[in-house]
Amino acid sequence: MSFPEYRGYSACEIPGVAKLPKQWKALKLKHLASIKFSNVDKNKEEGEQPVSLCNYVDVYHNEWITPELDFMEATASQREIDKFSLKVGDVLVTKDSESWDDIAVPAYVASETESTLCGYHLAQIRPKPEAIDGRYLFRAFDAQAINDQFKVAANGITRFGLGKYWLDNALFPVPPLQDQRAIADFLDRETARIDELIAKKQRQIELLQEKRAAVISHAVTKGLNPDAKMKDSGIEWLGEIPEHWSIGAIAWIGRVMNGSTPSNSKPDYWEDGSVPWVSSAEVNQGLIVNPTAYITEQALRECCIRLIPRGSVLIGMVGQGRTRGMCAILGIEACINQNVAAIIPGPKAESSFLQHALTHLYEPIRQYGRGGQQDALNCELVGNIRVPIPPIEEQKAIADFLNREHERIKALSAMITNSMRALAEYRSALISAAVTGKIDVRGKEAA
């Protein structure tokens, strides 16, 4: 879609915006809206009234603030309710964050929200209706050239904050009100269309991952020959397997062991280390070739740590998230810590097939976890996991097939991801161009 420019432009004092259409102005935000920093916290106090709080995460993750969001329950005084209740047309922006590039992320209050207040870490901006349209102001906050004013102004080292002075005195491009509404209408339509395209592409990636999981599941449990005679595996969640396959514990087809962690209080064990050392955080890589840590030869000797051979299959044993039960092939010789089990395949097991089989068994494996605050596997439990065991040549054929499928799906997913990124970049550029007057969208009606 191509857009015309405005007929004439004048120089502009907004940083990053060289010129504006002649009929536009550059005005400070304090002349366009009232600005309040909320101090309503999440604590519930006796004697206060129950309210809902629109918090940082509600603004950060949503462009539109509506009653459908899951607001936090809290209490507030009548004074806080009178001062910070949300009103349709308000623009909320993040004023504190752990990262400077998360400062001044905006959201627009699009519909009535009963008894909902602006929460802590947010600025509540209420446009003056005779000066600026709330939807246009929301889009202006989203424009990179405008938003950069706040990123530059944010102070901090480990946590960043935006002072009210910088919001008050930030410059915004201000077209006539009728043009503001036309720009907001256009951007609402176009961003909704782009967001729908991105959502469809995201669904395509999800379907590809579902297909990959189904292909792995079928290949490691049924094989590649559709005419193979089948038999009952004797395992409920596994079902039938080819008649010539067997079922066995991992300990039957390989050695299972784990490692340890050299003392962090001894620099000689870590400084200038050259021996790769792998932790459970790395088992989600699929193939481990670049560990994030190294230990010294001295640590290897004195701590009785064993080197695990290349081609071993590593499985995470600890973790409340997805780490427990995740597995990867070790692409180098390395040491491992105590939270990782290494399966060193014997002559009846092929590494890649075993990794694919364990990927299929991810959820059942997680059920083996046991422990107190943090569910965990151990080497004995890993060794007792039963897996289908085809003849070794068939394992290699299945692994080769699945590796090819993985690369094909990975390439398709990368193409879709790149197109999503291009759409997101176009979306951002379109917003910036429209609210800074680089393009004239006033005559662009809905298709």
pLDDT by residue (tens digit) across 75-128? 999 999 999 999 999 999 999 888 888 899 999 999 988 889 999 899 999 999
Q: Does the residue 394 lie in any domain?
A: no
- Shared domain for 272 and 376, answered yes or no, is yes
318 forms bridges with which residues in the sheet?
A: 376
In a domain, 57, yes or no: yes
* Count: domains in the chain: 2
Please identify, among 345, 364, 389, the residue that sits at the C-terminal boundary of a domain.
389
Task: Give domain status of residue 241, yes or no.
Answer: no
Statement to judge: residues 269 and 380 lie in one domain: yes
Residue 353, SS3? helix
Give residue 368's pLDDT band: very low, low, confident or very high (50, 70, 90).
Answer: low
pLDDT of residue 372: 42
140 pLDDT above the threshold of 60: yes
Q: Is residue 360 part of a domain?
A: yes
Same domain assignment for residues 153 and 250: no
**Same structural domain for residues 252 and 170?**
no
How does pLDDT run across 14-40, given as a tens digit for each residue?
A: 998 999 999 999 999 999 999 999 988
For residue 158, is it within any domain? yes
The reply to whether 35 and 168 lie within a common domain is: yes
Same structural domain for residues 162 and 275?
A: no
Q: Are residues 167 and 277 in the same domain?
A: no
Question: Of 389, 418, 436, which residue sits at a domain end?
Answer: 389
Could you tell me the pTM of the whole model?
0.82
Q: Are 133 and 259 contained in the same domain?
A: no
Report phi then psi at 112, rounded to 5: -60, 135
Q: What is the pLDDT of residues 57-77, one digit of tens each?
A: 999 999 999 999 999 999 999
In a domain, 84, yes or no: yes
Judge if 153 and 259 occupy the same domain. no
Residue 50 and residue 278: Cα distance in Å, rounded?
50
Closest CA relative to residue 241, chosen from 384, 381, 401, 360: 360
Query: Could you tell me if 267 and 367 lie in one domain?
Result: yes
Q: What is the CATH number of the domain that holds 353?
A: 3.90.220.20
Residue at which a domain ends, from 131, 155, 174: 174
Question: How confident is residue 153, by pLDDT bands cut at 50, 70 and 90?
Answer: confident
Around 335, how many Cα atoms within 13 Å sit in the side-chain half-sphere? Answer: 24
DSSP E strand boundaries for 280-391: 287-288, 293-295, 313-316, 327-330, 335-336, 340-345, 386-389
Please, which pLDDT band fits residue 379 given cuts at 50, 70 and 90? Answer: confident
Q: Do 158 and 292 fall within a single domain?
A: no
Domain that holds residue 270: 246-389
The pLDDT tens digits of the residues spanning 198-229 come to 999 999 999 999 999 899 999 999 999 999 99
Query: Given this model, what pLDDT does residue 239 score?
Result: 87
Whether 395 is in a domain gets the answer no
Residues 48 and 170 in one domain: yes
Q: Is residue 197 part of a domain?
A: no
Q: What is the mean pLDDT of residues 187-196?
A: 96
> Which of 213, 335, 189, 342 is CA-nearest to residue 273?
335
State residue 61's pLDDT score.
Answer: 95
